[in-house]
A and B are shown apart, each in its own frame.
Chain A
Amino acid sequence: MLRLEAVDAFYGDVQALFGISLEVPAGGIFALVGANAAGKTTTLRVVSGLVAPRHGRVVFDGRDLARVPAAQRVELGIVQVPEGRRLFPFMTVTENLLLGAHAVRARAERDATLRYVYRLFPVLEERAAQLAGSLSGGEQQMCAIGRALMARPRLLMLDEPTLGLAPVLVGRIFETVRTINADGVTVLLVEQNVRQALTLATHACVLESGKLVLEGAGRALLVDERLKRAYLGL
């Protein structure tokens, strides 16, 4: 579904990604793990179009995205839940969710999708009229995921959705990711909870200082000696 071919990305003169190539197959959960500053967020931003790669290609459904601006990629079904949630803080939960359905493709089914999101996260319906900035961390994350679902993603990219959440909430978010995937959405998941992410993932890769160092089936990586040493503290 999504293919990166030898992608180099820079912030000014600083190179953040070095020749990243990876393939996210349709229908699965693809986990992207790695230490801080490894380039995970940058990889997602290259796919969503917030960062333009200097070299290499991003191909979605066989189409080169080089000339597709970021806002237009949502129309294709590429939707990113940014790191740190990035809700519109002075708008209500409902307003945030409705903004998710801005894409033409999503707007037609807005009411049905809203019901789906409320079923997935009943707390959002209870908090509908509350300002997003005043939600708890867990609720904000649910709102951010809900807002992205409103765009009717085909590829949903989640950037550290469990960051800063209590363990019980972490479990809930992972459970939700599984549900969303079961409902037919391909997921690209960036996570610090390496063990849980790899358990859930069908495919995974490990980034280190902007380079792809390991790649394979999720559970296979879980028993990989190098990964164990580096990330699981075994």
Chain B
Amino acid sequence: MDPAARLGPAQIDVVAQLAVSTLLLGGIYALIAVGLTLIFGIMRVVNFAHGEFLMLGMYLAFFAFTLRGVDPYLVLIIAIPIFYLVGLFVYVLVMRGVIHASHNVQIFTTVGLSTALQNIALVMWTGDFRIIRPWESSVVLRAAGTAFNLAQVVAFAVAVALTVALMAFMKWTHTGRVMRATAQDRDAATLMGIDTDRVYRLTFAIGIACVGAAGVLVSPLYAAYPQAGLQFVTLAYVVVVLGGLGDMAGAMLGSLIVAAVEVGGSYIFGAAWKEVFYFLLFIGVLVFRPAGLLGQRGAETLGA
């Protein structure tokens, strides 16, 4: 007999609830990680400022809601083009100069960018936790012995739709092919008439648009504050390494695994332990499958 039916509609089936929570969380993590892995896969740059763009997305949703009463899901529509432009701007201003520099220079640059953005946020908006409660965060849905709120479901659905759209874009459009080609052999791409600087600009802008959108999507669920990006981005690194650097399908899988570890670990041992589990997982992957769970082929595969 169906356990949910036995327990009655108001009861919670623990296993089903954990599974659904994992799925919902995993979808959001995927959208954060996919931009990071895209930027790494094509530009060979680890964007340590990735979380700060998530934070900016959260603030955008916060101010749009509190000052203008605009629902986060409407904000999402303008947030994607806005963060795309932010990405272009940051690329031209900051990243272009270091794209062919050594890894050390790149790390200093993106860590510096991260610190700068956090401090700008701190100065402009203080360190207060900013929380919004639009209607969708108080609508509770129940199904098959599980309960979750509408904001989680929408965040999951939109995140998965955007992630899948990006993967399809990379695989089947001419521009996606051009981006993968640039990642695999930059000189050969140039010899085909591909403007590789344009490819990097586009890549960075798309990655930032994804994470900015993720920031808006999580705004009904998490507080915005200057370091809000950090909590997500640490796990995004774990996801990216799990999935294989530059591998977008791997990032989807990695997101689910990280979400499962977080949800299961928090349930059994308490929420305080979750970061310990991430890093055990992280170290485990680096030791046993440094190329990522999905394979040996390395970052160059990018959507192949």
Contacts and interface: CB of A to CB of B under 8 A. Distances in A.
A71 B193 contact: yes
A177 to B, nearest CB: 18
7 contacts: A90-B180, A90-B184, A91-B177, A91-B184, A95-B177, A98-B174, A103-B193
Contacts of A54: none
A88 B187 contact: no
A131 B302 CA distance: 13
B185 A102 contact: no
A48 B191 contact: yes
Contacts, number: 74
B142 interface: no
A151 B177 contact: no
A75 interface: yes
Top 5 nearest A-B pairs by Cβ distance? Answer: A74-B193, A86-B188, A103-B193, A90-B304, A88-B184
A131 B304 CA distance: 9
Nearest to A131: B304
Given A75-B193, A99-B177, A90 B188 contact: no
Interface in A60-74: 69-74
Nearest to B300: A90
Contacts of B11: none
Contacts of A106: 193
Interface centre among B180, B189, B191, B300 (most CB of A within 10 A): B191
Interface string B284-297: 00000000000001
Contacts of B190: 49-50, 70-71
Interface of A: 48-50, 69-75, 79-80, 82, 86-91, 95, 98-100, 102-103, 106, 131, 147-148, 151
B196 interface: yes
Contacts of B195: 69, 71
B191 A88 contact: no
Nearest to A49: B190
A52 B190 CA distance: 14
B178 interface: yes
B301 A90 contact: yes
A150 to B, nearest CB: 8
Contact of B188 (A73, A88, A95): A88
A215 B55 CA distance: 65
B186 to A, nearest CB: 10
Contacts of A75: 193
Interface residues of B, number: 22
A124 B69 CA distance: 59
Contacts of B180: 88, 90-91
A99 B297 contact: no
B268 interface: no
Interface centre among B184, B188, B297 (most CB of A within 10 A): B188
A49 to B, nearest CB: 8
A88 B174 contact: no
Contacts of A100: 192
Interface string B263-304: 000000000000000000000000000000000010011101
A117 to B, nearest CB: 14
Contacts of A74: 191-193
Nearest to A86: B188
Interface string B164-179: 0000000000100110
Nearest to A144: B188
Given A88-B185, A91-B184, A99-B181, A82 B300 contact: no
Given A90-B301, A99-B181, 16 more contacts: A48-B191, A49-B190, A71-B190, A72-B193, A74-B192, A82-B191, A86-B188, A86-B191, A88-B185, A88-B188, A89-B300, A99-B177, A102-B174, A102-B178, A103-B192, A151-B192
